Amino acid sequence: MTLVKRDKWGISHIEADSAAAAFEAQGWVAADDRIWQMEWDRRRALGRWSEVVGIAGAREDAFFRRLGIATIARNDWNQLGTEAKEMTRSYAIGVNRWLDTHLDSLPSEFDYHPEAPEPWEPWHCVVVYKVRHVFMGTLDRKLWRGHLLSKAGVDITRSFLGDPNADTSMLPPQSNEALNLLARSNEVLSHNKVAIDALSSIDGGSNSWALEGSRTATGLPLLAGDPHRTIEFPNVYHQLHMKCPEFDAIGMGFPGVPGFPHFGHNSNVAWCITHGMADDTDVFIESDDLDAIEWCPETLDIRDSDSVEVWCGSTERGPIVFGNPSDGIALGLMWTGISNVDTTFEVLAPMLKAKSCEELESTMKPWVIPVNNLLSADVEGNISFKVRGRVVERSIANRWTPVAGTSDASWSQDNEVVFDRLQSWRNPARGFLVTANNRISDQGPYISLDFAGPSRHDRIVELLSELFDATVDDMTKIHRDVKSLVAPTLIKIFVENAGHCRHSLSSEAIALLSDWDCEVTESSTAATIYNVVRRRWAETVGTHLGVMAPELGAPGWPSAQQASRMLFESATEVLVSGEVHQIKGLETSKKLVDAISSVIDGSLTELEDRCGPLMSEWNWGRVHRMASAHPLARQWQPARSLHPPMDGCPGDGDTVRCGAMTPETGERAAAASVARYVYDLGDWDNSGWVVPHGVSGVRGSGNDLGQRDAWLAGELLPMLYSEQAINKNTSEVFTI
Catalytic position from the list 159, 206, 564, 628: 206
Q: Determine if residue 139 is left, alpha or beta; phi over 0 gives left, psi from -120 to 50 gives alpha, anything else beta.
A: alpha
- As a whole number of angstroms, the distance between CA 534 and CA 490 comes to 8
Active site residue 412: no
Do 539 and 662 meet the contact criterion of CB atoms below 8 Å apart?
no
Are residues 137 and 279 in contact, defined by beta-carbon separation less than 8 angstroms?
yes
The answer for residues whose C-beta is within 8 angstroms of residue 213's C-beta and 6 or more apart is: 219, 220, 221, 381, 682
Under 8 Å between Cβ of 143 and 395: no
Sheet holding 314-315, edge to edge: 314-315, 318-322, 330-335, 281-286, 403-404
Output b/e per residue, 86-95; b: 16+ Cβ within 10 A: bbbbbbbbbb
Q: Distance between CA atoms of 61 and 51, rounded to whole angstroms?
A: 10
Rounded distance between C-alpha atoms, residue 563 and residue 662, angstroms: 9
In the chain, the amino acid numbered 94 is G
∠ CA 184-185-187, nearest 5°, is 65
Q: Which three-class secondary structure state does DSSP give residue 372?
A: strand
Give the whole-angstrom CA distance, residue 428 versus residue 426: 6
When computed from its CA atoms, the radius of gyration of the chain, rounded to whole angstroms, is 25
- Whole-number Å distance between alpha carbons of 729 and 19: 25
Q: Give the Cα separation of 417 and 275 in Å (integer).
A: 18
Residues with Cβ within 8 Å of residue 419, at least 6 apart in sequence: 364, 365, 388
Q: Are 629 and 232 in contact (CB under 8 A)?
A: yes
Cβ proximity of 342 and 369 under 8 Å? yes
Secondary structure class of 219 (helix, strand, coil) = coil
For residue 677, the cross-strand partners are 225, 689
One-letter amino acid at 23 equals F
* Percentages of the chain per state (helix, strand, coil), in multiples of 5: 40, 20, 40
Which has the closest alpha carbon to 526: 511, 539, 507, 504?
Answer: 511
Q: Please name the residue ranges forming H helices in 120-255.
A: 124-131, 139-152, 154-159, 176-191
Task: Judge whether 182 and 146 are in contact, CB under 8 Å.
Answer: yes
Cβ(62)–Cβ(47) below 8 Å: yes
For 690, how many CA atoms within 13 A lie in the half-sphere containing its CB?
A: 19
**From residue 209, how far is each of 124, 384, 385, 397, 514 by CA, in Å?**
33, 10, 10, 34, 32
**What CA–CA distance (Å, rounded) separates 628 from 611?**
22
Report the C-alpha gap between 323 and 385 in whole angstroms. 42
Do 185 and 286 meet the contact criterion of CB atoms below 8 Å apart?
no
Strand partners, 243: 15, 248
CA distance 382 to 368: 25
With b meaning 16 or more CB within 10 Å and e meaning fewer, what string describes 362-393? Answer: ebbebbbbbbbbbbbbbbebbbbbbbbbbbbe
Q: What is the DSSP letter of 322?
A: E
- Label residue 653 exposed, middle or buried (CB < 10 Å: 0-12, 13-18, 19+): buried
- φ and ψ at residue 103, rounded to 5 degrees: -65, -20
Q: Of all helices (H) and strands (E), which one includes residue 565?
A: helix 560-576
Any idea which residues carry the catalytic annotation?
206
